[in-house]
Amino acid sequence: MRNTLLHCSLAVALLAPSSSRADVILAQSQFASGTEGWLLGDFYQPLFLDVSGALFWQATGGNPGGFIGASRDALAPSSVEGFFAPAAFLGDKSAAFGGSLLFSMEALLGNDGVNFPMLAISDGSLFLQFRTSLPGLSWTDYTIPLRAGAGWEVSANRILNDGTPGAPATDAQILQVLSHLSFMSIREDVRGGDDQTNLDGVVLTAPTATTTPEPSTFVLLASGLAAVGFVSKRKRLSLRT
């Protein structure tokens, strides 16, 4: 009888619902076989550049595997370039609100750099920017939260391309842009002069989801509990007799 009760208890424990957490990936570029549609352009505007050798892909040396990079000022010495995300990252990405944008960068050449935004996103009318530390000589990992209070700003002078700080962006503004994302630009020109900046592992995620058990699991759990109750009742009756 004791062994039966033990087995029933073990069955209930194994059937008990358990929560697991996993990131929901909406779009990603690991650059395993090429540039995957990424382009080089003016940081604040989708003015893409056709400059031989400016944007390149390399099969090894990334974080890990392949990566893309840009090797020089493609527009002009005073310009600021950005890596522009392809269509997979654009459109209705409202599901990413509250999630994150992750990527890795390394800056092999250039000067000390300036406090310029690292990331810009827009729906075509509202432009938001995000500042963070500069990458080092080895791969630096970034996780950019897509919510208010994380450091997002409303771009004040995007036409001047000077990275002027703006007012903090609200949740409503961030959601507005994510719902109609027309471009996403990750700054390439992080260190002035004749720089080289590499990019890898760009991942756009939705908020972390908590998985719930299937309904059948609850049925099995209830059956297990009923079995335990039945065995316990029989044990009490046998003790009385």
Q: What is the pLDDT along the chain (241 residues), one digit of tens a residue?
A: 444 443 444 343 334 444 444 679 999 999 999 999 999 888 877 665 555 557 899 999 999 999 999 876 555 555 678 899 999 999 999 999 999 999 999 988 655 555 678 999 999 899 999 999 889 889 999 999 999 999 999 987 665 555 678 899 999 999 999 999 999 999 988 776 667 899 999 999 999 765 445 555 444 445 554 554 544 545 554 545 5
Cα atoms in the 13 Å half-sphere on the side-chain side of 209: 12
What is the reported pLDDT for 190? 79
Token digits of residue 117: 């935004």
Contact (CB, 8 A) for 130 and 144: yes
- 222 within domain boundaries: no
Q: Is 151 a domain residue?
A: yes
Whether residue 241 is contained in a domain is answered as no
Residue 8 lies in a domain: no
Domain that holds residue 50: 21-209
Q: Is residue 123 part of a domain?
A: yes
Contact 69, 78 (CB under 8 A): no
Rounded Cα gap, residues 226 and 206, in angstroms: 39
CATH number for the domain that contains residue 93? 2.60.120.430
What pLDDT score was predicted for residue 215? 53
Instruction: Provide the pLDDT for residue 81.
Output: 83
Q: Does residue 132 sit within a domain?
A: yes
Q: What is the pTM of this model?
A: 0.75
Return the DSSP state at 158.
Answer: T
177 phi, psi to nearest 5 deg = -65, -45
Position 82 in a domain: yes
Query: How many domains is the chain built from?
Result: 1
Determine, yes or no, domain membership for 232.
Answer: no
**Residue partners of 62: CB distance under 8 A and separation at least 6:** 31, 104, 139, 198, 200, 201
DSSP 49: -
Q: What does the alpha-carbon distance between residue 174 and residue 68 come to, in Å, rounded to a whole number?
A: 27
Residue whose tokens read 């309904």: 215
